[in-house]
Amino acid sequence: MKAGEDKLVKRVASVLARKGGLRLALGVGDDAALFAPRPGYETVLTCDWFLEGSHFLPGKDPADSVGWKCLARAVSDIAAMGGQPRCFLLSLALPGKVALEERGRGSRWLDEFLGGLRRAAQRFACVLAGGDTTQRGEILINVTVVGEVLAGRAIRRSGAKSGDRVFVSGVLGEAELGLQKLRRGARNSPKNDRARRKHLYPEPRLALGQWLANRKLASSMIDLSDGLSSDLPRLCAASGVGARLDAAEIPSPKQPRTGSKPLDVLGLALNGGDDYELLFTVRSNKASRIPRSFQGIVLTEIGEITRERRVVIVKQDGTAKPLLPLGWDPFCK
């Protein structure tokens, strides 16, 4: 007689638990997991909600994207510290029919979810260490990621100084554009559409974050989860500084081909969430050491840090206006 919860835990573990995984002394199936920290490293800890209706829609977002993204967005916080992920805890609340349906009969939500999560875990070298399961009317997910960073090398939000250059990785606003396409049900957008893929399967910038940390190139860093206009003020507040951005330099999505209505690409780049790119600052005397691209990801200088504690954006006509935090805020929907 196998109880419902034990059955679900066994199923999750059979897909995700790696035997002899990394430096994990004890994984799924005990009261808690055991992790052997490496000497000379600090432990990096983060957790993230991923909730049906708030962060994903089961009818619109494929289950394997839900699995991939719930881990990717938490891993992105590790990337933003310059760390490397090691293991994760998965808290899963599921409706009974999703949790206990038999496996392998056609295309089921839980199979696909676990498949996407396994692909992400392999990609990010982040092994399942434990978690908690319960029953609930809606799908609720919370992921905790444990990572490591060389002691003293973590890049914080608080290190920016006046005169530092502001950089971002990648193109901003693409994930929001992909979300809009999916919500419109744009059936003509191909599966490999860049914006669609970025919304469904974001790639945290782990290698870039570690490279910046190991070479001591960045004075501060944050990942862009809510949007540049919301996240840059957080970095500035933590550092006690302001910033001046150059609107013309902000890497934005391409305008669609002729025939479509032109997009507000700057608005997408400033306020679109879910990009999981890195925003970082570099002392001006080190700025030339930042390449134009890193492992195929474009790196762009978009402005500078100011002593005056305001965040402003300078338009192409030279006028400056305050950058309002119009990115994602769950309490201002």
Instruction: Extract the tokens encoding 293.
Output: 């691209």
Q: Considering beta carbons, is residue 46 or 265 the nearer one to its own copies?
A: 46
Q: Considering beta carbons, is residue 10 or 315 the nearer one to its own copies?
A: 10
| 3-state SS class at 299 | strand
Q: Is 19 in the site for its own copies (CB under 8 A)?
A: no
Distance CA 153, CA 141 (A): 31
189 Cβ contact list (under 8 Å, min separation 6): 181, 182, 195, 196
Asked whether 136 and 100 are in contact (CB, 8 A), the reply is no
The nearest distance, CB 291 to its own copies, in angstroms, is 23
Total of residues contacting its own copies (CB under 8 A) = 74
Window 150 to 179, contacts with its own copies (CB under 8 A): 151, 154, 156-158
Window 211 to 250, contacts with its own copies (CB under 8 A): 221-223, 230, 234, 238
Q: Which of 277, 264, 263, 269 is nearest to 173 (CA)?
A: 269
Among 17, 21, 48, 168, binds its own copies (CB under 8 A): 48
The nearest distance, CB 5 to its own copies, in angstroms, is 5
Window 305 to 324, contacts with its own copies (CB under 8 A): 324
**In a 10 Å sphere around its CB, with 0-12 CB exposed, 13-18 middle and 19+ buried, how is residue 185 labelled?**
exposed
Stretch that binds its own copies, among 96-104, 189-197, 259-267, 294-302 (CB under 8 A): 96-104
Q: Is 77 in the site for its own copies (CB under 8 A)?
A: yes
Residue 324: C-alpha distances to residues 117, 303, 321 (Å): 35, 16, 9
The nearest distance, CB 86 to its own copies, in angstroms, is 10
Among 66, 72, 87, 121, binds its own copies (CB under 8 A): 87
